[in-house]
């Protein structure tokens, strides 16, 4: 007798699709049997005509108000969005204030998450020039899933590596010694700083030049984008790869946004143990759309051209990019709006947890990916890249029973009104897909059903296996 039987659904895995019946006990998949197999459980669910995906694993999420903020996104709101969207495991980036740079803040974040999270979560640690060896040892012992370093932006002042190669090498060596992954947010600090200075000056003087030269103003989002060119990204990636090759450190490269970056990563695959990610936004949008979104279209790295978007889709399908992440950055409307008047006042970022799976299904409908690619890029690879596979990211005997049940015959309209993040909007507003998430299970427990939460928070902290 099992706790739960899910009968006759079509399992979608990286290897293909096959009808099967799942038997679940104690939160774990105990049997994957032929669809007609006679098995009994306390609960019995008929999933004929349904698709069953592994719950998604999102390796790049921000919860800026995790320390019980009443204004900013907190665990309850972010993980409600995650659960409704089919993300059952997320990894928390360490830059939210207070940043996760010491064992004591790491423990506080874990404790709060264990009380309020609706999905399982892992914690990423922040490292930078001021990080002591003892902090890394302590956070590794506590179960940090990765150690994040920021070459040019994003890591809070004092934690940016900048052009300090001594620190870059030191930190990579220490993380290799504790046996974890270094997450690298690339780019070139000096290139960004000088291009930003130049763009601001150019825009200020344009007002005066206009009188004489009939100059047209560029969309403000484009002005911002010019300060983060693909060269900046490539320089950071190449530099991180060179140091990782030297120190023998496993690295994860964040937010690839161009074919140039993919090409550089490929050149290092033989000499560096690496994985890479693309944000769902870069697979969906082109620059002109971001320009129209105004401050809501500002993310880092910026949304690029249609050719770049198509090259990223191909790279993902071909395995040259390992995984898709949401980079869920739930900037509130009230914080985005001032950006209409002054684009430099816009905090970069878009929410994306609740729409990650729908985004992937939209790409399948566009013919850019297969359903199997979705299982690979959003479940298997992110779990494997960070030491969670096959406990997470798989539909195998012994895996946690984290499941998305999809009705392929009912459409979904993506809209602001259904978003449960405190950033209560989506840049995918108005898009529709042909299928719908019916149920989401976390370790065999139904947590979301027909767009409603049906469970108290039961998310657990997960640590990487050695
Ligand atoms: Zn991010």
Per-residue pLDDT tens digits for 181-191: 999 999 999 99
Task: Give the separation between CA 447 and CA 70, rounded to whole angstroms.
Answer: 24
User: How far, in Å, from the CA of 2 to the mean position of ligand 1?
Assistant: 40
Q: Is the pLDDT of residue 371 over 80?
A: yes
User: How far, in Å, from the CA of 114 to the mean position of ligand 1?
Assistant: 22
Instruction: Look over the chain and give the mean of its residue pLDDT values, rounded to a whole number.
Output: 96
Q: Is the pLDDT of residue 236 over 70?
A: yes
User: How far, in Å, from the CA of 65 to the mean position of ligand 1?
Assistant: 15
Q: Bridge partners of 148?
A: 126, 183
Q: How far is CA 163 from CA 13, 17, 150, 240, in A?
A: 42, 47, 11, 11
User: How far, in Å, from the CA of 35 to the mean position of ligand 1?
Assistant: 41
Q: Is residue 98 part of a domain?
A: yes
User: How far, in Å, from the CA of 187 to the mean position of ligand 1?
Assistant: 13
Sign of CA dihedral 46, 51, 53, 58: negative
User: How far, in Å, from the CA of 339 to the mean position of ligand 1?
Assistant: 19
pLDDT given at position 35: 96
- 334 burial type by CB count under 10 A (0-12 exposed, 13-18 middle, 19+ buried): exposed
Q: Is residue 35 part of a domain?
A: no
Average pLDDT over residues 91-105: 96
Q: Is residue 2 part of a domain?
A: no
User: How far, in Å, from the CA of 62 to the mean position of ligand 1?
Assistant: 6
Q: Is the pLDDT of residue 449 over 80?
A: yes
Average pLDDT over residues 180-208: 91
- Name the residue with tokens 């940043």: 99
The token duo for 270 is 């033989």
pLDDT given at position 218: 81
Q: Is the pLDDT of residue 424 over 80?
A: yes
Q: What sections of 152-258 are H helices per DSSP? A: 165-177, 189-213, 220-225, 230-247
Q: The domain spanning residue 199 has which CATH number?
A: 3.20.20.140
- SS3 string, 95-115, reads CCCCCCCCHHHHHHHHHHHHH
Task: Give the separation between CA 79 and CA 218, rounded to whole angstroms.
Answer: 38
Print the domain residue range for 62.
Answer: 55-387+416-429
- Domain total of the chain: 1
Q: Is residue 186 part of a domain?
A: yes
User: How far, in Å, from the CA of 418 to the mean position of ligand 1?
Assistant: 23
User: How far, in Å, from the CA of 370 to the mean position of ligand 1?
Assistant: 26
Q: Is the pLDDT of residue 320 over 80?
A: yes
165-168: Cβ within 8 A, 24+ apart:
165/239, 165/243, 167/128, 167/129, 168/239, 168/240, 168/243
User: How far, in Å, from the CA of 329 to the mean position of ligand 1?
Assistant: 7
Q: Is the pLDDT of residue 213 over 90?
A: no
User: How far, in Å, from the CA of 301 to the mean position of ligand 1?
Assistant: 10
Q: Is residue 211 part of a domain?
A: yes
Lowest mean pLDDT among 197-211, 263-277, 417-431: 197-211
Q: Is residue 466 part of a domain?
A: no
End-to-end CA distance of the chain: 33
User: How far, in Å, from the CA of 212 to the mean position of ligand 1?
Assistant: 42
User: How far, in Å, from the CA of 229 to the mean position of ligand 1?
Assistant: 17
User: How far, in Å, from the CA of 279 to the mean position of ligand 1?
Assistant: 9
Q: Is residue 367 part of a domain?
A: yes
Q: Is residue 146 part of a domain?
A: yes
The percentage of residues in the chain with a pLDDT greater than 70, rounded to a whole number, is 98
User: How far, in Å, from the CA of 185 to the mean position of ligand 1?
Assistant: 9
User: How far, in Å, from the CA of 135 to the mean position of ligand 1?
Assistant: 22
User: How far, in Å, from the CA of 411 to the mean position of ligand 1?
Assistant: 30
What confidence category does residue 155 fall into, taking pLDDT thresholds of 50, 70 and 90?
Answer: confident
Residue closest to 282 by CA, chosen among 263, 261, 302: 302
Q: Is the pLDDT of residue 421 over 80?
A: yes
């Amino acid at each position: 007798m099992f706790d739960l039987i899910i009968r006759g659904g079509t399992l979608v895995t990286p290897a293909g699709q096959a009808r099967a019946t799942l038997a679940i006990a104690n939160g774990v998949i105990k049997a994957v049997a032929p669809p007609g197999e006679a098995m009994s459980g306390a609960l019995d669910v008929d999933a004929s005509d349904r698709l069953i995906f592994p719950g998604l694993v999102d390796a790049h999420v921000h919860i800026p108000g995790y320390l019980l903020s009443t204004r900013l996104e907190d665990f309850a709101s972010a993980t409600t969005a995650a659960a409704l969207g089919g993300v059952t495991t997320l990894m928390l980036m360490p830059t939210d204030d207070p940043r996760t740079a010491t064992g004591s803040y790491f423990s506080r974040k874990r404790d709060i998450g264990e009380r309020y999270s609706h999905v399982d979560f892992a914690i990423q640690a922040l490292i930078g020039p001021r990080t002591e060896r003892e902090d890394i040892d302590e956070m590794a012992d506590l179960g940090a899933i990765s150690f994040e370093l920021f070459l040019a932006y994003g890591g809070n002042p004092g934690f940016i590596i900048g052009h300090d190669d001594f620190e870059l090498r030191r930190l990579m060596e220490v993380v290799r010694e504790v046996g974890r992954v270094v997450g690298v947010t690339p780019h070139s600090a000096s290139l960004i700083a000088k291009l930003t200075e130049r763009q601001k000056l150019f825009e200020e003087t344009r007002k005066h030049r206009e009188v004489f030269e009939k100059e047209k103003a560029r969309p403000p989002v484009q002005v911002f984008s010019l300060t983060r060119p693909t060269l900046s990204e490539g320089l950071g990636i190449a530099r991180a790869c060179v140091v990782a090759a030297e120190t023998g450190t496993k690295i994860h490269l964040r937010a690839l946004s161009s074919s140039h970056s993919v090409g550089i990563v490929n050149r290092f695959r033989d000499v560096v143990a690496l994985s890479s990610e693309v944000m769902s936004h870069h697979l969906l949008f082109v620059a002109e759309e971001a320009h129209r979104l105004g401050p809501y279209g500002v993310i880092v790295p910026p949304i690029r051209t249609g050719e770049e978007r198509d090259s990223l889709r191909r790279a993902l399908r071909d395995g040259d990019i390992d995984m898709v992440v949401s980079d869920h950055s739930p900037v509130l409307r009230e914080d985005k709006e001032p950006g209409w008047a002054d684009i430099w006042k816009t905090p970069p970022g878009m929410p994306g947890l609740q729409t990650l799976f729908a985004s992937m299904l939209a790409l399948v409908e566009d013919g850019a990916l297969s359903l199997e690619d979705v299982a690979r890029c959003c479940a298997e690879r992110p779990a494997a890249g960070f030491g969670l596979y096959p406990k997470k990211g798989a539909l195998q005997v012994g895996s946690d029973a984290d499941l998305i049940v999809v009705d392929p015959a009912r459409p979904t309209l993506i809209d602001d009104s259904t978003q449960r993040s405190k950033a209560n909007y989506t840049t995918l507003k108005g898009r529709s897909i042909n299928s719908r998430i019916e149920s989401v299970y976390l370790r065999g427990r139904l947590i979301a059903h027909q767009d409603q939460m049906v469970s108290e928070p039961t998310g657990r902290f997960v640590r990487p296996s050695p």
